């Protein structure tokens, strides 16, 4: 149905869509978890916050699992290189994530303030650390990752754990973290009322401003840094061989795609415009509109990053020809075709049952509701 080159482009878009789905769905859960110790001042308030995401957080993690599985199957070299190079960072994410399910399930099992407060901070760690590390990882992708391939095509990472935390990478981490906090706060504006809603509104305004400011500063830094350019002829239909090309670094190279495809400028414009509208609606306590606009801002930010470095997926700053691109890091044509049909069938199903679940369990979660359902609520 599609030639190999088209399938490679389709899967670049699909991976982006899955990452966006993770940011929107599991992202607002993480944003809520990060805000838990600060927006909830009493035990009942914190239980109301937890129960606003309680029915959905496990289901939303399907986007995280699916995105990881798609990268493994569609971009095996990216998966192998990233998970070996970012090994300790990924371990930090996994260890932090352990606190989320245990925190949600165990927190209210014991009626003890110390016990419950400890799990509140566990949920905070399990939500904030992944959000921060994912941004740091993508910041390093934009900068270039120190790795190369041996003749056997085994990736070798030559950097260090602390080398991942450069100023730009940390800024990307802050943008990622505040983006999810912003989205989670807007969700709380939608699902709560009273003091909780008021504190969530304040958190939304702060996080949204920091997110937009960080995104703007990041754009200025990208415009002055060296990007990567392929200088050899590329055959988009060729089989996977990342070493069969030549790459150079050029100042401002990450802006070239905006000259080649001027419509790409719509992506950062969308990020700023939707972010500004989300701030306005948050200030007005229009939770649904604020939530939709912060989701659109996430779309703009994520695809601005991906569109800027296209066709690169993971450039190498120590062995330029080892850089991984859309054209040379993918699986076989047959694998991409099978996965395409699976995604075409399963993604609408996931969206449909998720939408149904949110529709059925819509409405405000209040302190009064928690008191009335003390035995059944989280």
Question: What pLDDT does 377 receive?
Answer: 59
Q: Is the pTM of this model over 0.85?
A: yes
- Residue 9 is predicted with a pLDDT of 93
Indicate if the pLDDT at residue 229 is higher than 80.
yes
Task: Quickly list H helices, 144-193.
Answer: 167-191
**pLDDT at position 23, please?**
93
Q: Give the chain's radius of gyration (CA, Å).
A: 21
Helix (H) / strand (E) element for 250: namely strand 247-251
By CB atoms closer than 10 A (0-12, 13-18, 19+), residue 152 is: exposed
List pLDDT tens digits, range 174-222: 999 999 999 999 999 999 999 999 999 999 999 999 999 999 999 999 9
The residues, ordered by sequence, that sit 6+ positions from 369 with a Cβ below 8 Å of its Cβ are 48, 51, 377
pLDDT tens string 269-301:
999 999 999 999 999 999 999 999 999 999 999
Rounded CA-CA distance 19/136 in Å is 15
Question: Residue written as tokens 């401003």?
Answer: 209
Question: Alpha-carbon distance 48 to 194, whole Å?
Answer: 12
pLDDT of residue 376 exceeding 70, the answer is no
Residue 131: name the closest of 22, 213, 233, 39 by CA.
22
CB 57 within 8 A of CB 27: no
Of 291, 301, 292, 310, the C-alpha closest to 270 is 301
Q: Quick check: 372 pLDDT over 80?
A: no
pLDDT of residue 129: 95
Total count of residues recorded for the chain: 378
Helices (H), 237-332: 256-260, 266-283, 287-309
Q: Which residues contact 196 (CB under 8 A, 6 or more apart)?
A: 39, 40, 45, 48, 49, 188, 367
Residue 282 DSSP symbol: H
Per-residue model confidence as pLDDT tens digits over 21-50: 999 998 999 999 999 999 999 988 999 999
Residue 261 has pLDDT above 90, yes or no: yes
Q: What is the pLDDT of residue 266?
A: 96
Alpha helices in the chain (DSSP H): 4-21, 27-39, 43-53, 57-74, 76-85, 87-97, 99-106, 113-143, 167-191, 194-224, 256-260, 266-283, 287-309, 333-360, 367-372
Euclidean distance between CA atoms 168 and 152, whole angstroms: 33
Q: Which residue has the higher pLDDT, 351 or 209?
A: 209
Residue 375 has pLDDT above 70, yes or no: no
Residue 303 confidence class, pLDDT cut points 50, 70, 90: very high
Residue 369, pLDDT above cutoff 70: yes
Query: What is residue 3's predicted lDDT score, i.e. its pLDDT?
Result: 87
Average pLDDT of the chain, as a whole number: 91
Q: ∠ at Cα 136 (160, 234), nearest 5°? A: 85
């Amino acid at each position: 149905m599609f030639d190999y080159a088209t399938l490679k482009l389709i899967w670049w878009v699909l991976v982006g869509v899955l990452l966006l789905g993770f940011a929107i769905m599991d992202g607002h859960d993480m944003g809520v978890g990060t805000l838990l110790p600060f927006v909830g001042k009493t035990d009942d308030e914190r239980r109301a916050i937890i129960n606003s995401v309680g029915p959905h957080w496990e289901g939303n993690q399907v986007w995280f699992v699916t995105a990881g599985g798609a990268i493994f199957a569609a971009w095996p070299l990216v998966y192998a290189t990233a998970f070996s190079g970012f090994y300790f960072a990924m371990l930090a994410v996994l260890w932090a994530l352990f606190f989320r399910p245990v925190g949600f399930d165990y927190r209210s099992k014991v009626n003890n303030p110390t016990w419950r407060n400890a799990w509140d901070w566990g949920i905070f760690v399990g939500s904030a650390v992944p959000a921060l590390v994912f941004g740091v990882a993508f910041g390093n992708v934009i900068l270039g990752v120190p790795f190369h391939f041996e003749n056997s095509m085994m990736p070798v990472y030559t950097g260090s754990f602390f080398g991942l935390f450069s100023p730009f990478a940390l800024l990307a981490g802050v943008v990622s973290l505040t983006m999810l906090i912003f989205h989670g706060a807007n969700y709380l504006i939608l699902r709560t009322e009273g003091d909780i809603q008021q504190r969530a509104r304040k958190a939304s305004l702060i996080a949204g401003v920091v997110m937009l400011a960080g995104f703007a500063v990041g754009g200025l830094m990208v415009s002055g840094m060296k990007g990567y350019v392929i200088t050899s002829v590329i055959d988009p239909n060729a089989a996977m061989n990342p070493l069969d090309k030549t790459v150079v670094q050029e100042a401002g190279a990450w802006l070239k795609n905006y000259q080649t495809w001027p419509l790409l400028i719509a992506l950062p414009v969308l990020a700023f415009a939707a972010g500004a509208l989300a701030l306005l609606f948050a200030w007005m306590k229009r939770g649904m509109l604020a939530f939709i606009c912060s989701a659109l801002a996430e779309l703009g930010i994520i695809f601005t990053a991906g569109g800027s470095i296209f066709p690169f997926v993971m450039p190498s700053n120590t062995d330029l020809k080892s850089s991984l691109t859309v054209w040379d890091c993918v699986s076989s044509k047959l694998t991409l075709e099978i996965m395409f049909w699976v995604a075409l069938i399963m993604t609408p199903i996931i969206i449909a049952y998720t939408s149904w679940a949110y529709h059925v369990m819509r409405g405000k979660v209040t302190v009064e509701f928690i008191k009335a359902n003390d035995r059944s609520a989280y």
